[in-house]
Amino acid sequence: MEAFIPNHLFNAIMRHAKQVLDAERSVNDIQIKKEFAFYSLSKAESLFEELTQEQAALLKPLTEIKNEQELENFKESLTSYIYPFPSISEAQLKKMFKKTKKLHPPELTDKKRKQLTYLSWLDAGSMKKFMVYEYEGKLAALKGSFLPSQKKDICHFCNQVTDVGLFTVDVTLNSKANTYKALSNYICQDAESCNAHLTNTEKLDYFVAYSQSAKK
Ligand SMILES: [Zn+2]
């Protein structure tokens, strides 16, 4: 069976799995626990447009989770089927960010690529944040300023309350007329943590689509 679970859906499945374990611990009624476990499984299944029998069978043990070890085993069983973030060479990145002389992207191991929905890093010297995201089959590159916030707030992408910063990207409205519009959102300071909390890509899609569409 080939990899079919993108990082954010893996996070979403594991969130349902964790809830099954929480219910196992906090609910007394066996019938209610069982119903909740199957409800959670249906939620996990509905994350996918369609599932083959084999893929569905992989998710099924979610209903059986009764302790930390079983949660861990379930997580392990999915790991081989996580769809990795594309492998990008430094030369490709240089092409994507032509105007930037020195790029300092993080090193991407195979394991790391499986933990990414989007790739991002901050250049602390210039306080520019770089972002690469696969949108509609193409790699989109975004670069913007990043201003860390003093207080915690909700990340626009992953929805967790955390240390955030204001990410501002200039969107070209009309390149001939040289008009721009700033697109700003509070997002996680720590991209690794953001990727670990993302359970859907709705906001990320919108952000990237908006910034890209204006360029065309
Ligand atoms: Zn986030």
The CA-based angle 24-28-33, given to 5 degrees, is 50
Nearest residue to 167 via CA among 191, 151, 179, 183: 183
Non-local (6+) Cβ contacts of 13 within 8 A are 5, 44, 47, 59, 62, 78
DSSP 198: -
Percent of the chain with pLDDT over 70: 98
Name which residue leads in pLDDT, 14 or 137. 14
By the CB criterion, residues less than 5 angstroms from ion ligand 1 are: 155, 157-158, 188, 194
The per-residue pLDDT for range 134-183, each reduced to its tens digit, is: 999 999 999 999 999 999 999 999 999 999 999 999 887 777 777 778 88
Question: Distance between CA 148 and CA 54 in Å, rounded?
Answer: 45
Distance 162 CA to ligand 1 centre (A): 8
pLDDT score, position 70: 98
The size of the chain, in residues, is: 216
Distance 160 CA to ligand 1 centre (A): 6
The per-residue pLDDT for range 43-55, each reduced to its tens digit, is: 999 999 999 999 9
Distance 165 CA to ligand 1 centre (A): 10
Distance 117 CA to ligand 1 centre (A): 11
Distance 205 CA to ligand 1 centre (A): 14
Q: Where in the chain is the domain with CATH 1.20.1280.250?
A: 5-83
Distance 173 CA to ligand 1 centre (A): 27
The third-level CATH classification (topology) of the domain covering 5-83 is Monooxygenase (1.20.1280)
Average pLDDT over residues 28-55: 97
